Amino acid sequence: MEIKKGIPVSPGVAIATAVTLGAEEYRISHEPVAPEQVARELDRLNAAFEASLAELSSLRQTTAHQVGQDIAAIFDFHYGVMSQGRLREQMAALLTSHRYTAEYSVREIMRDYQRRFLNMEDELLRERVRDIRDIERRLLRHLCGGSGEDLAHLQDQVILVAHDLTPSQGANLSRTKVLALAMDTGGLTSHTAIVVRSMGIPAVMGLKDISQAVGDGDTVILDGTKGLAIIRPDPAMVEEYRREEQRMREVAVGLVELRDKPAVTIDGTRISLAANIEFPYEAALCLEKGAEGVGLYRTEFLYLRSETEPTEQEHCEAYYSVVRAMKGRPIIIRTLDLGADKYTRQQATEPERNPFLGLRSIRYCLQNLDLFKIQLRAILRASAEGDVRIMFPLISGLMELRQGKMALGDAMEDLEEMGVPFRRDIPVGIMVETPGAAIQIREFMREVDFLSIGSNDLIQYTLAVDRNNERVAPLYTASHPAVLHTLREVIQKANRAGVPCSLCGEMAGEPLYTLFLIGIGLRQFSMAANDIPEIKRIIRSTTVARAERIARKALSYETDRLVSNYLRDEVRKVAPESL
């Protein structure tokens, strides 16, 4: 049994066998082949070796020619390991004795080598583990072809263990087949985390080398609440987790009773709790969890789930279905937030050096006006059917907002010419998720109907910490005093100006921050629907005066650690079961 600790990004527990996806995303079956197929698998293994060796010698030549002998010598090691026969013999022996596929035999033997290299004392030898991985990938590429098996068509219920999944791969997972996800990379606010959370798939990220430590077919317990992956658990551990699953079911039942109760503090202040969605089908879950509306609809997932760009009609259908399901409740549709880690096929072929600081979000839309206007027209059409509002993401300067509004004006003219009904005074808001927007909030407030703070991005841009990078994950925290002070400034200014201001980043659904946020004046939250009952429970357990005292005190600390410890203590006092 081995226990690994990572970042808990989506709560819940699952116990199942693992399917692993390496850095190159090969899904490798551990099922034995029929006895008569063993010879064929051996042929495939040999062919993969021959193809890899031919490739390496040609790589060696071209590299020597282009960048010199020193670099080309890297491939000598690979060629040497592959050509000396021992490796191939070991794989062939495993394949024959267990009737494994060629792929599985390659993976098993290479993982064994990787483990041995990782345990070596000599640092230089430990470094060689990368080369071993390279050799494995090369062989697998020749065996599996260009792409891994399609994740959407898994046969069994599994725990998916991956080096890294993109948000679009996450969005295409089967919710019935993938019981949980464990990943080497990623963090709490990475979009892959957000999407699997919204799909209700328990997940732990930032596990660093879980994809190396787990083999296909291993039993894994994934605890998305505590951030643990337990590999090959012993029977006592499995038993303990079966009990934990039962306990969590009981807690969930307790929270259901809160659904129809208002989110109101003990002293009578009403707080509005809306939900974030990525897919139209989530609207049903919003109502089930007691959401008062959709505070953030991340529409870019329409692109990420489809091979082709959605048409205006497809946009409309998605929006209409949310409007119908939400039965008159407000729906804030955020315009496309493509770029950074969420890209279309075209964006993927033109990678940027610094994608989170690059052509993402509103910037991408303003440079691709045709694509932008298709969406704007669709949102406007939907505005004739319900309480639809429009929100621009990643605004960093006033000109972007004005250009966005101009594009909206053009879309209105198009519809007018066609005689299509829409709401001309549709409320227009921005996300406050860059320090630029936060600092210039007064100017922005004169030109918008509402604000929504995107704390996920605001934290990453305020602290210069990549929200997706597990290596700097401990630095990424909403408890940083600079973040807390920025939030207070924005919320207080909005309240004074009478401009509705919500917060829709993951922080809104974290029990640790509820009291603080109420204390600095936040009255509108938007979060993953599943988080609503827990946050409502905290709201119903405090007075505003108490929350204000807590916020004042939290703002007096100088480090994030002190803030977190303090807030944890305070939440424990009002709602001990929430943490």
The size of the interface with Mg ion (CB under 5 A), counted in residues, is 3
Which pair of structure tokens corresponds to residue 569? 């203590």
* 159 C-beta neighbours (distance < 10 Å), count: 26
**Please, which residues have CB within 8 angstroms of residue 85's CB and are 6 or more apart in sequence?**
none
Active site residue 191: yes
State yes or no: residue 457 binds Mg ion (CB under 5 A).
yes
Does residue 131 contact residue 98 with C-beta atoms inside 8 Å?
Answer: no
State yes or no: residue 282 binds Mg ion (CB under 5 A).
no
**Closest separation in Å from C-beta 175 to Mg ion:** 24
Name which of 184 and 506 has its Cβ closer to ligand PEP: 506
State yes or no: residue 339 binds Mg ion (CB under 5 A).
no
Name which of 456 and 564 has its Cβ closer to Mg ion: 456
**Closest separation in Å from C-beta 340 to Mg ion:** 9
Q: How far apart are CA 218 and CA 352, in angstroms?
A: 37
State yes or no: residue 22 binds Mg ion (CB under 5 A).
no
**Closest separation in Å from C-beta 189 to ligand PEP:** 6
Return the residues of window 412-471 that contact ligand PEP according to CB under 6 A. 433, 454-457
Strands 228-231 and 219-223, sheet pairing: antiparallel
Instruction: Report residue 181 CA to chain centroid gap.
Output: 11
State yes or no: residue 454 binds Mg ion (CB under 5 A).
yes
**Please, which residues have CB within 8 angstroms of residue 394's CB and are 6 or more apart in sequence?**
337, 360, 361, 362, 363, 431, 433, 434, 454, 457
Query: Which of Mg ion, ligand PEP, none sits in contact with 455, Cβ below 5 to 8 A by type?
Result: ligand PEP
Which pair of structure tokens corresponds to residue 9? 């990004």
**Closest separation in Å from C-beta 454 to ligand PEP:** 3
State yes or no: residue 341 binds Mg ion (CB under 5 A).
no
Active site residue 316: no
Name which of 187 and 290 has its Cβ closer to ligand PEP: 187
State yes or no: residue 298 binds ligand PEP (CB under 6 A).
yes
Give, in order, the Cα–Cα distances in Å from 323 to each of 222, 237, 383: 36, 45, 9
Q: Which of 484, 504, 517, 563 binds ligand PEP (CB under 6 A)?
A: 504
Q: How far apart are CA 35 and CA 50, in angstroms?
A: 24
State yes or no: residue 214 binds ligand PEP (CB under 6 A).
no
State yes or no: residue 466 binds Mg ion (CB under 5 A).
no
**Closest separation in Å from C-beta 433 to Mg ion:** 5
Name which of 114 and 276 has its Cβ closer to ligand PEP: 276
Binding map of ligand PEP across residues 321-360, x = CB under 6 A, - = no contact = ----------------x-----------------------
State yes or no: residue 293 binds Mg ion (CB under 5 A).
no
State yes or no: residue 511 binds ligand PEP (CB under 6 A).
no
Name which of 139 and 504 has its Cβ closer to ligand PEP: 504
Query: Which of Mg ion, ligand PEP, none sits in contact with 231, Cβ below 5 to 8 A by type?
Result: none
Choosing from 191, 286, 480, 501, the catalytic residue is 191
Rounded to 5 degrees, what are φ and ψ at 150? -75, 120
Q: Angle at CA 235, nearest 5°, toward 105 and 157? A: 55
Beta strands in 206-328 (DSSP E): 219-223, 228-231, 272-277, 294-298
Q: What is the DSSP string of 362-404?
A: HHHHHH-HHHHHHHHHHHHHHHTTS-EEEEE-S--SHHHHHHH
- Residue holding tokens 């090691």? 77
DSSP 163: S
Interacting residues toward ligand PEP by CB under 6 A: 194, 296, 298, 337, 433, 454-457, 504-505
Interacting residues toward Mg ion by CB under 5 A: 433, 454, 457
Where in the sequence numbering do the catalytic residues fall?
191, 504
